[in-house]
Structure 1
Amino acid sequence: MIDRRRFLAAALGTAAIPGALSRSVSPAAAQAGWQPIRMIQVFVGFQAGGGTDVIARLYAAAADEMAPVKFVVVNRPGGAGAIAADVVAHLEPDGYTLLLGGGSESTTLPHYTKLNYRLDDFKAIGRVSREHMVLVTSRKGPLDSVDALVKKAKANPGKLAYGSSGVGGILHAGFQAFEKAAGIELNHVPYRGGADAFKDVLGGNIEMTLVIPAEAKAQYDAGNAHILATLSDRSTIIPDVPSLKELGYPVVMDNMKGLLISSRTPAPIVRWHQELFTKVMKSDRMAELARKMNVELGYLDGPAFMKAMADTSNQVLALRKG
Structure 2
Amino acid sequence: MPHGIPTASPTASLIASPSELPTSLARRRLLLGGAATAVAAATGTAGLILPNGARAAAAYPERPIKFICPWPVGGTADQSMRALCQVAAGLLGQSVVVENQAGASGMIGTKALARANPDGYTIGQIPISVTRFSQLGMLQLDPRTELTYLARTSGQTFGIAVPANSRFHTLQDVIAAAKADPGKLTYAHAGIGGATHVGMEQFAMAAGVKFNAIAYKGGAQALQDVLAGQVDLLADSSSWAPHVEAGKLRLLATWGEQRTPRFASTPTLKELGYNVVVEAPNGIGAPKGLPPAIEKKLREAFRAAVASNEFKAVAARIDAPVMYLDGPDYKKYVSTVYDQETQLIQRLKLKEMLQQS
Q: What TM-score comes out, normalization by structure 1 length?
A: 0.86
1:113 aligns with 137
The 5 A counterparts of 1:213-252 are 213=238, 215-233=239-257, 234-252=259-277
CA offset at residue 301 of structure 1? 1.6
Shift of 1:34: 5.5
CA distance in 2, matches of 1:49, 1:166: 18
**2:173 is the counterpart of 1:151:** no
Once the two structures are superposed, residues 119-160 of structure 1 have per-residue CA deviations (whole angstroms, 9 ceiling, x without a partner) of 121122112211121111111211221111111111111111
Preserved contact between residue 253 and residue 266 of structure 2 (Cα < 8 Å): yes
Letter in 1 for 2:301: L
Work out whether residues 140 and 204 of structure 1, in 8 Å CA contact, stay in contact via their aligned partners in 2: no
Task: Give secondary structure in 2 for the equivalent of 1:77.
Answer: coil
Task: State the match for 2:4 in structure 1.
Answer: none
Give 1:163-312 correspondences, 5 Å limit.
Answer: 163-213=188-238, 215-233=239-257, 234-312=259-337
> Which has the higher mean CA deviation after the structures are superposed, 311-320 or 267-276?
311-320
| Aligned residue pairs, count | 304
Gaps of 5+ in 2: 1-12, 21-28, 41-45, 47-56, 348-357
Instruction: Give the Cα–Cα distance (whole angstroms) in 2 for the partners of residues 286 and 114 of structure 1.
Output: 31
Contact 1:103 1:256 in 2 (8 A): yes
Conserved 8 A contact 2:147-2:286: yes
Match of 1:49 among 66, 74, 81: 74
Structure 1: runs of 5+ lacking an equivalent: 1-12
- AA aligned to 1:117 is L
* Displacement of 1:65: 2.6
Given that 1:34 and 1:272 are in contact with CA atoms closer than 8 Å, whether structure 2 keeps it comes out as no
Matched with 2:24 is none
Distance 2:74 2:131 in 1: 22
Question: Rg: which structure is higher?
Answer: 2
Is the alpha carbon distance of 1:149 and 1:142 closer, same or farther for their aligned partners in structure 2, counting shifts above 3 Å?
A: same
**Counterpart among 63, 82, 88 of residue 38 in structure 1:** 63
Identity across matched positions, percent: 29
Q: Deviations over 1:28-61 (max 9, x none)?
A: 4696836211111111112111122112111112
Deviation at 1:310? 3.4
Distance 1:76 1:171 in 2: 20
* Partners of 1:128 and 1:298 within 8 A in 2: yes
The answer (yes or no) to whether the contact 1:162–1:188 under 8 Å persists in 2 is yes
Paired residue for 1:61, among 86, 96, 101? 86
CA distance in 2, matches of 1:268, 1:301: 15
Go from structure 1 to structure 2 and tell me whether the alpha carbon gap of 1:162 and 1:317 turns closer, same or farther (over 3 Å shift): farther
Instruction: For residue 295 of structure 1, report the CA deviation from its aligned partner.
Output: 3.9
Change (3 A) 1:112 1:138: farther
Post-superposition Cα deviations, 1:186-224, rounded to whole Å, max 9, x if no partner, equal 1111111011111111111111222334x3331112111
Letter in 1 for 2:198: A
Q: Which amino acid aligns with 2:279?
A: D
Identify if the C-alpha distance between structure 1 residues 134 and 44 changes in structure 2 by more than 3 Å, giving closer, same or farther. same
Following superposition, the deviation at residue 248 of structure 1 comes to 0.5
Partner residue of 1:15? 15
Counterpart-to-counterpart distance in 2, 1:35 and 1:283: 22
Which 10-residue stretch deviates more, 151-160 or 95-104? 95-104
Q: State the shift of 1:90 in Å.
A: 1.2
Deviates more, 1:278-287 or 1:80-89: 278-287
Q: Shift of the alpha carbon at 1:291?
A: 4.1
Describe the shift of the 1:73–1:229 C-alpha distance in structure 2 as closer, same or farther (beyond 3 A).
same
C-alpha distance in 1, partners of 2:267/2:335? 26
User: Residues of 2 paired with 1:161 and 1:111: CA distance?
Assistant: 27
2:189, 2:236 within 8 Å by CA — same for their partners in 1? no
- Whether the 8 Å contact between 2:197 and 2:235 is mirrored in structure 1 is no
